[in-house]
Chain A
Amino acid sequence: MSGTKKILVVEDRPEIRLLVAMAIKPLGYTLIEADNSETGVAAILLHRPDLILLDVMMPGDINGFGICCMVKQDPKLRGIPVIMMTALAQVSDIEEGMAAGADKYVVKPFSLVALRRIIVDQLVEQGKGSENS
């Protein structure tokens, strides 16, 4: 795929969206923002991002786990890496996230360095996967 990679961040808190934006700015990716689950789903279908950063607790009918499930069950979207980004830090929550098919689970608060590394790793991995397929 040519052009810059697109990353979608679905997060209801504006300051966290801002933080993510500033954090990944040096990486040179295009960032798409969605502030609730509905617009998040719409953005996924519309923009086909290369990676999704998903908050869990959001206003709206479905939460982040639901969106993750939806992405991972759609054969066309399945290949997109999904990184759950949440303050829910209990083991059961992480298990639920993994069950929903999330590729990575980032617990808030997170280190920006770690976040960047995870994003890059996932994108590289995804690139490999799509080459193979």
Chain B
Amino acid sequence: MKTRFDNASLQNKIALTMGVGGLLVTAAIAIAAFLLSRQLILTNTRSILAMSAQQQEREVVLRMESAIALARSLANNTVTANALADNLGRMTYLAPLLSSQNLPFPGANLLLTDYRGRVVAASSAAPIENVDGLANLVDATLASGSPGGALLDTKRDKFSKLVLVFPVIYRLTGQSEGTIVLIIPAEHLLNIHSGKYQFGLLDTDGMLISGSLGGEEAVRSIVRIDFPPPLSSVFLSVSISQDRDVALHDLDTLFVVFVVVGIVLLMGVTIISRWAARLLTQPLSELSSAAERISHSGRPESIPEMRRNDELGSLARAFHHMLSRLTDSYDALERRVEERTAALLASEQKLASILASLQDGIWSLTRDGRKLSYISPSSMSVTGLANDLLRNDLNSFFAAVHPDDRDRVQSALRRLVEDGDSIDVEFRFNNPLKGLRILQARAHPVVTDNGAVIRLDGILSDVTQRSEAEDKLRRRELYLRAILDNFPFLVWLKDSESRFLAVNQRFAEAAGYYDGDKLRGLTDFDAWPAKLAEQYRADDREVMESGKEKNLEEPIEIEGERRWIETFKKPVVTPDGHILGTVGFARDITERKEMQYQLAASEERWELAVAGSNDGIWDWDVQSGTLYLSDRWKEMIGYRGDEIGNRYEEWYQRVHPDDRDHVLELVQQHLDGRTDLYQVEHRVRCKDGTYRWILARGKAIRDESGRPTRFLGSHSDIHERVIAESSLKLRTAQLNTIFALSPDGFVAFGGNGAVEYLSAAFCELTGLDSGEVYGLSERELLRLLALRCIADSRSNLKVLELLEQDHENVIADGAGVRYLLELEHPGHRVLEIGQRRSLEHGVSKIFYFRDVTYETEVDRLKSEFLSTAAHELRTPMVSILGFSELLLEDSGFDEETTRELITTIHRQSTLMASIIDELLDLARIEARRGQDFVMESLNLCQLVQEVTKSFRFPNDSRGITLHLEVEQAWIEGDRRKIMQAINNVLTNAYKYSPDGGEVFLTVKRAGDVAGEGYAVSVADRGVGMTAESVARVCERFFRADTSGRILGTGLGMSIVKEIVDLHGGTVGITSELNHGTEVVLGFPAHQKRDEGMPDLTEVGGA
């Protein structure tokens, strides 16, 4: 299907596409319209039906109302009532009265009954149908006196009747004298006048009473009838319906018409689309057929121009334009061809006339060389053969060639044909008209641009006469030329005008020509640069004028190189003295010249070197052992020229003995050919016996076998340099040692501002690795240091900032400002940093770092101590000053208060005095570090007893419970100090047990002290301390009591600690708050007990 579509013509494609598109669109619209209208019609029909039903219902109700009014008026009519009373006369007028009533329902019957329900009169003459329940209804009305109504069925058929009963009431009595009965057949209830719809009457159950409901598919509308009273209890509905088919009948008709019209339209569209497609494609097909015609004929032709402005029009115009251009160029081509043809013709004619006038024969062979394509008329005189004969059979030409030459000619022809070579061959030819002649045939292939041979053109000449003369001359010339060409000289022959007559190959090459013949007739100006040529011309002239030969050596530039040329020039003179020209030859003597020159130069240099150099020269003839030493050599070591002979020993014995072996070794190495150059620095003894440093350099001269014949060289005086160098080396080594040993760190920055040197101490101080510091700039180094500083320290940051800013202000000689830097890594350290700018070349700046951690710490402790001490002294001063001031103010204190104030002043003064005492004690102990201790062997037991004996605590009667666990406890120490320590501990024990309790003093062996030892323990049952207080109890001015009740300086335990520490002992404190404290002073045991126990005891007692 698809391929069929693809193969269809463009016209058909467009038509088909448009047709199918139209069809689909139309069909879709039609179906949609159909469905929509169907729906609309049904909806519309339903609403019409509903309206009709309502209308019908209203109509029924209206009619019913008029019927009821009629019946009611009849019932109320006095005539009717009177008629009931008149048994006789009533029939005469009642019947006409009833029948004259115009009832709104056809078929309705109006009856009059008497008080018993019997029918007295009827409106219709027809017999009264028997209606079920009528009698009951009438009776009920008679009894109640109110109208009634009901839907009743007749007995005879199933038709329902609507019955209304109205009582006729006698006015005077108010009794019901009878009734008016109105019977309306249900089938007549509806006034059906339209045949379009089916009407039906339905009862309450939806059952059909009359009319019809229409079919199953019918469209239906049902409306209930609202009857007026007394029929209010009767419920009936009106149904109105219409068959769907009937309703849709018009639509179906319309659909058929639509389909028919659609088909017609579709056909129209198809026709139009075909027409449109043709309209679109026709120009294209015209273009394509035109193109096809052109391609078939190969000749452009005009095509009808299209006067359209759309794309096709422009395409056609472009096509047209292209064609007209093509036609133009085609015409131009043809014109040119014609012109060329004419020109060719003209030149051919010209050629023909030239050929005819030539003596030589001109011929052309076909490409394969088998057939003559052309032969000029003049050929006939050369060959003596008819041209037609040759044209028909080329072999007749070869047959005339001399048998000896035939092979040569044929092979030449082969070369011409097969290899495409140009040929020039002479051969003997049997001319039937002229006899044996020598012919020369020259030919060459005619080649097109792309290398294809199209024919072979040649000339055939009769060279019989020329050939004979030339032969001899040529042979002689060849000999001469061979000789000249093989000469190693440039040879030339010039005429009297200096034009070259002949030159040899060498000359030609030197002049830049490859063929000597080409120089013939030319002058020197064509061969050489103008300047040279001029000179040569002058030389020629001179030679010819003088008639003598000339010999000269001259330098010339050849290809940028300087060459020496030796030239001989001689006039050529005829025997009668006439000068014909010049002959000359020249040769290149550059190498010889060069050698001479070099020799002279080297000798000159040597002379210069020896005389002018500042170096001493030596020249050792290795074989003979003589050693030439220049004057300068001798002068260098303080001798005059004549003071030292030319002997090897003169040198040997002056070499410093320490250097001699090394120098000789190097000399030997060089002589053996192991080194290129002999070079050594060594000392040489001077005339005054001192040694000078010289640099010796030399090189051996060797014979063909490589054996050294001479060894020559120089001595340079390098004494000053070596001395300077060695002192510099020494200095550097010293400095390096200083830097390496110095505990201070150094960092030196080079000229480029990068770290060039750093000392080991620096690395140790800062913990930086030398590898990471080398090459850093100052800023980078400071950054690195900043990382190691204590974080968040403002002072550090400030220091680094200052260091960086300050570097401009650091002057070379000034110590500059020193900065302190606090490092956190590798350990807590305080570094003092100084910087120094150097004006020395190569070093821009030096940083030095000094570890001042200890100093700063000591400083800090010192100032802290001072501040604390001042604080502690100021505190009692407050009371002393304050209370005394109070007393002085004399505010009228009573005696008791006054006394109390004075007591306070006294107590605080005492405290202050004891603080000062103890401070001095402590200061003395710390300052002397035990040097003023009088060390002796002491028995702790004895010492303790002494202390207890003398110990008194003010206002306290408690004794000391002494317990000696050992009999003797020998230690070494200062008696007074140890007693002071024990005393202080005992004082504390009393002081801090204000509420009493025993104080224990024990001397015991102390195993826990390193090594053997003894301990004094003092325990109380006092207030005790917290663990924090225990830890701080030995701090200066630390007071365990903060209540102020217990007086103290806070220095007692500090003194104890200092004393015990200086004795190499320990202070142990255990304490429990509110339970007491034990202080244990441990001392190392002293081993000298047997030495002089009695003496010591004696000393102890003193």
Interface set of A (CB-CB < 8 Å, partner B): 12-16, 18-19, 22-23, 26, 35-36, 57, 59, 86-90, 93, 107-113
**Interface assignment of B908: CB less than 8 Å from any CB of chain A:** yes
Which residues of A lie under 8 Å from residue B1044 when comparing CB positions?
A: 12-15
Q: A23-B886, A59-B1042 are in contact. Are A15 and B870 (CB under 8 A)?
A: no
Q: What's the Cα separation between A23 and B885 when bound, in Å?
A: 9
Q: What's the Cα separation between A19 and B879 when bound, in Å?
A: 7
Q: What's the Cα separation between A107 and B871 when bound, in Å?
A: 10
User: CB < 8 Å: which of B867, B882, B1043 contacts A16?
Assistant: B882
Q: A12-B1042, A12-B1044 are in contact. Are A109 and B880 (CB under 8 A)?
A: yes
Q: A12-B1042, A15-B908 are in contact. Are A109 and B870 (CB under 8 A)?
A: no
Q: Name 21 A/B residue pairs within 8 A (Cβ), A-sorted.
A: A15-B878, A15-B879, A15-B908, A16-B879, A16-B882, A19-B886, A26-B891, A35-B1043, A59-B1042, A87-B872, A87-B875, A88-B867, A88-B871, A89-B871, A93-B867, A108-B875, A109-B878, A109-B882, A111-B881, A112-B882, A112-B886
| Number of inter-chain CB pairs below 8 Å | 67
Q: What's the Cα separation between A57 and B1044 when bound, in Å?
A: 14
Which residues of A lie under 8 Å from residue B883 when comparing CB positions?
A: 15, 19
Q: Which residue of chain A has its CB nearest to the CB of B866?
A: A90
Question: 4 nearest interchain CB pairs?
Answer: A87-B874, A109-B877, A19-B882, A109-B881
B874 touches A15 (CB 8 A): no
Which residues of A lie under 8 Å from residue B908 when comparing CB positions?
A: 15
Which residues of A lie under 8 Å from residue B891 when comparing CB positions?
A: 26
Q: For the A-B complex with A35-B1043, A87-B871, A109-B882 known, give 7 more contacts whose Cβ atoms are closer than 8 Å.
A: A13-B878, A19-B878, A19-B879, A26-B891, A59-B1042, A87-B878, A109-B874
B877 touches A108 (CB 8 A): yes
**Interface assignment of B327: CB less than 8 Å from any CB of chain A:** no
A95: min CB distance to chain B, Å:
14
A15 touches B886 (CB 8 A): no
Q: Which residue of chain A has its CB nearest to the CB of B908?
A: A15
**Interface assignment of B904: CB less than 8 Å from any CB of chain A:** yes
Q: What's the Cα separation between A108 and B1042 when bound, in Å?
A: 18
Q: Which residue of chain B has its CB nearest to the CB of A92?
A: B867
Which residues of A lie under 8 Å from residue B870 when comparing CB positions?
A: 87, 89
Q: What's the Cα separation between A31 and B989 when bound, in Å?
A: 37
B886 touches A22 (CB 8 A): yes
Q: What's the Cα separation between A79 and B269 when bound, in Å?
A: 105
Which residues of A lie under 8 Å from residue B881 when comparing CB positions?
A: 109-111
Which residues of A lie under 8 Å from residue B875 when comparing CB positions?
A: 13, 16, 87, 108
Q: What's the Cα separation between A107 and B1042 when bound, in Å?
A: 21
A112 touches B885 (CB 8 A): yes
User: Which residues of B (850-889) have their CB < 8 Å from a CB of A?
Assistant: 867, 870-872, 874-875, 877-883, 885-886, 889
Which residues of B lie under 8 Å from residue A59 when comparing CB positions?
A: 1042
B491: min CB distance to chain A, Å:
115
B871 touches A57 (CB 8 A): yes
Q: What's the Cα separation between A57 and B875 when bound, in Å?
A: 11
Q: Which residue of chain B has its CB nearest to the CB of A15?
A: B879
B199: min CB distance to chain A, Å:
100
B1027: min CB distance to chain A, Å:
15
A110 touches B878 (CB 8 A): yes
User: Which residues of B (212-261) have their CB < 8 Å from a CB of A?
Assistant: none
Which residues of A lie under 8 Å from residue B879 when comparing CB positions?
A: 13, 15-16, 19
B885 touches A108 (CB 8 A): no
Q: A12-B1042, A12-B1044 are in contact. Are A23 and B882 (CB under 8 A)?
A: yes
A35: min CB distance to chain B, Å:
8
Q: What's the Cα separation between A112 and B884 when bound, in Å?
A: 10
Q: Which residue of chain A has its CB nearest to the CB of B881?
A: A109
User: CB < 8 Å: which of A35, A36, A89, A112 contacts B874?
Assistant: A89
Which residues of A lie under 8 Å from residue B1042 when comparing CB positions?
A: 12, 36, 59
Which residues of A lie under 8 Å from residue B880 when comparing CB positions?
A: 109
Q: Which residue of chain B has its CB nearest to the CB of A57?
A: B871
Q: What's the Cα separation between A110 and B882 when bound, in Å?
A: 7
Q: A12-B1044, A14-B1044 are in contact. Are A108 and B886 (CB under 8 A)?
A: no
A15 touches B904 (CB 8 A): yes
Q: What's the Cα separation between A14 and B900 when bound, in Å?
A: 14
Q: What's the Cα separation between A18 and B905 when bound, in Å?
A: 12
Q: What's the Cα separation between A88 and B863 when bound, in Å?
A: 12
Which residues of B lie under 8 Å from residue A15 when comparing CB positions?
A: 878-879, 883, 904, 908, 1044
A16 touches B878 (CB 8 A): yes
Q: What's the Cα separation between A113 and B1044 when bound, in Å?
A: 25
Q: What's the Cα separation between A109 and B598 when bound, in Å?
A: 109
Among A15, A16, A88, A111, find the residue whose CB has the most chain B CB atoms closer than 10 A: A15
Among B870, B871, B889, find the residue whose CB has the most chain A CB atoms closer than 10 A: B871
Which residues of B lie under 8 Å from residue A107 when comparing CB positions?
A: 874
Q: What's the Cα separation between A12 and B874 when bound, in Å?
A: 15
Which residues of B lie under 8 Å from residue A88 when comparing CB positions?
A: 867, 871
Q: What's the Cα separation between A59 and B882 when bound, in Å?
A: 23
Q: Which residue of chain A has its CB nearest to the CB of B891?
A: A26
Q: What's the Cα separation between A133 and B881 when bound, in Å?
A: 39
A105: min CB distance to chain B, Å:
14
A54: min CB distance to chain B, Å:
14
Q: What's the Cα separation between A35 and B883 when bound, in Å?
A: 20
Which residues of B lie under 8 Å from residue A108 when comparing CB positions?
A: 874-875, 877-878
B867 touches A90 (CB 8 A): yes
Which residues of A lie under 8 Å from residue B886 when comparing CB positions?
A: 19, 22-23, 112
B888: min CB distance to chain A, Å:
10
Q: What's the Cα separation between A19 and B881 when bound, in Å?
A: 10
B898: min CB distance to chain A, Å:
12
Q: What's the Cα separation between A23 and B881 when bound, in Å?
A: 12
A93: min CB distance to chain B, Å:
8
User: Which residues of B (612-650) have their CB < 8 Å from a CB of A?
Assistant: none
A107: min CB distance to chain B, Å:
8
Q: What's the Cα separation between A12 and B1042 when bound, in Å?
A: 7
Which residues of B lie under 8 Å from residue A90 when comparing CB positions?
A: 867
Q: Which residue of chain B has its CB nearest to the CB of A112?
A: B885
Q: What's the Cα separation between A113 and B883 when bound, in Å?
A: 12
Which residues of A lie under 8 Å from residue B874 when comparing CB positions?
A: 87, 89, 107-109
Q: What's the Cα separation between A31 and B602 when bound, in Å?
A: 120
Q: What's the Cα separation between A117 and B885 when bound, in Å?
A: 15
Which residues of B lie under 8 Å from residue A16 when comparing CB positions?
A: 875, 878-879, 882
Which residues of A lie under 8 Å from residue B889 when comparing CB positions?
A: 112
- Can you list, as one digit per residue, whether each of B883-922 has a CB less than 8 Å from chain A (1) or not (0)? 1011001010000000000001000100000000000000
B1040: min CB distance to chain A, Å:
10
Q: What's the Cα separation between A16 and B881 when bound, in Å?
A: 11
Q: Which residue of chain B has its CB nearest to the CB of A12?
A: B1042
- Can you list, as one digit per residue, whether each of B544-585 has a CB less than 8 Å from chain A (1) or not (0)? 000000000000000000000000000000000000000000
A33: min CB distance to chain B, Å:
13
Which residues of A lie under 8 Å from residue B871 when comparing CB positions?
A: 57, 86-89
Q: Which residue of chain B has its CB nearest to the CB of A89?
A: B870
Q: What's the Cα separation between A88 and B875 when bound, in Å?
A: 10
Q: Which residue of chain A has its CB nearest to the CB of B1037?
A: A57
Which residues of B lie under 8 Å from residue A93 when comparing CB positions?
A: 867
Which residues of B lie under 8 Å from residue A57 when comparing CB positions?
A: 871
B483: min CB distance to chain A, Å:
121
Which residues of A lie under 8 Å from residue B878 when comparing CB positions?
A: 13, 15-16, 19, 87, 108-110
Which residues of A lie under 8 Å from residue B904 when comparing CB positions?
A: 15, 18
Q: What's the Cα separation between A22 and B871 when bound, in Å?
A: 23
Q: What's the Cα separation between A89 and B869 when bound, in Å?
A: 11
Which residues of A lie under 8 Å from residue B882 when comparing CB positions?
A: 16, 19, 23, 109-110, 112
